[in-house]
Amino acid sequence: MMQICLRIYGREGQHHQGHLLSDWLLSSARQLGVAGGTVLRASAGFGRHGLHEDTFFELGGELPVIVELILTEAQAETVLALCAEQKLHLFYTQYPVTAGVTG
């Protein structure tokens, strides 16, 4: 089945409405009927907030996280609209994927 992979990038210690941003995104997506999502923690990354690496001296809460959702195009538009409505300035990527279940 053709769907959309929506990846939203943030930082592990980033909060929104008193919750970790990644938890808030997963909860919001679930309420919108998205079947599932995953949070991936990176060991290193760079972008508009500079370079962050998983080292002994790294400050906690600054490593990149990716919230990945596989959803319909309409659901992706709804999630992005919700983020805009909440004034969240998050980098994201989206691309078509073929999704299914084995067996």
Tell me the C-alpha distance between 71 and 93, whole Å: 13
**pLDDT at site 12:** 87
**pLDDT at site 64:** 86
Contact 37/30 with Cβ under 8 angstroms? yes
Helix or strand run (H / E) with residue 68: strand 64-71
Q: What is the pLDDT of residues 42-79, one digit of tens each?
A: 776 666 655 555 555 555 567 889 999 999 999 999 99
**pLDDT at site 60:** 58
Cα 76 to chain center, whole Å? 12
Q: Quickly count: other Cβ atoms within 10 Å of residue 96's Cβ.
A: 10
**pLDDT at site 47:** 63
| Domains recognised in the chain with CATH numbers | 2-94 (3.30.70.120)
